[in-house]
Each structure stands twice: as structure tokens, then as C-alpha cells.
């Protein structure tokens, strides 16, 4: 289930991302980090065919590294969290 900050990609963004992943998948390895499971990616794409194509290329030969444990963000002070939310460091 997608959260309130989830935003669907535009068709142009989805096509651009597909082209990037498709081209890169023929060249060599990729490293991709996400806080979403693959099943949670589908609603982000306006076209299910693009979503399936992208996820197929990303997952087909992937090595999944799942990190568990507490987030460091829970240890931050409220003002530090606000700064991160605004895109600061």
C-alpha cells in the first residue's frame, strides 16, 4: 500500500525511467536502493506494461539485500528530521 507521499510518475517520467533501466540492463550491473518492495512500485507507474517491463529488468537477475533493524531517523532530533524532509543534510 502506498503512503500519502507517494506520487505517480508521469507517462514521460515512466518512459524515461524504462529507457534508462532497459539500456543499463544490457550494459552491466546496476545498484538501486529503495525503501519500497517491488510490489509497491506498480502503483507509481501510469502504465502497467511499463511497470512490468522495468521491474522485470530490475528483479530478473537481482541480488536482493534487505536491511533490517531500526532506522537511524528515529534517533534524530525533530529539527534534524524537518531538515531531512526539506532535502537538507
* pTM of this prediction exceeds 0.75: no
C-alpha cell, 23: 539500456
Cell reading at 46: 501510469
3-class DSSP state for residue 12?
helix
Confidence at residue 87, expressed as pLDDT on a 0 to 100 scale: 67
User: Residue 40 is part of which domain span?
Assistant: 11-85
6 in a structural domain: no
Grid cell at residue 51: 511497470
Number of structural domains, the chain?
1
* Residues 54, 57, 58, 64, CA torsion sign: positive
Give dist(CA 40, CA 3) in Å, integer. Answer: 10
- 4 within some domain: no
**In a domain? residue 61:** yes
Do the domain assignments include residue 2? no
Convert the pLDDT of each residue in 20-52 to its tens digit. Answer: 999 998 898 888 888 888 889 999 999 999 999
pLDDT surpasses 70 at 59: yes
Asked if residue 62 belongs to a domain, the reply is yes
Amino acid at each position: 500500500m502506498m503512503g500519502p507521499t507517494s506520487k505517480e510518475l508521469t507517462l514521460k517520467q515512466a518512459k524515461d525511467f524504462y529507457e534508462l533501466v532497459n539500456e543499463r540492463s544490457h550494459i552491466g550491473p546496476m545498484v538501486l536502493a529503495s525503501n519500497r518492495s517491488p510490489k509497491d512500485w506498480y502503483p507509481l507507474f501510469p502504465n502497467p506494461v511499463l511497470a512490468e517491463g522495468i521491474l522485470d529488468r530490475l528483479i530478473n537477475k537481482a541480488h536482493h539485500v534487505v536491511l533490517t533493524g531500526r532506522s537511524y531517523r528515529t534517533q534524530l532530533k525533530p529539527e534534524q528530521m524537518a531538515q531531512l524532509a526539506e532535502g537538507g543534510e
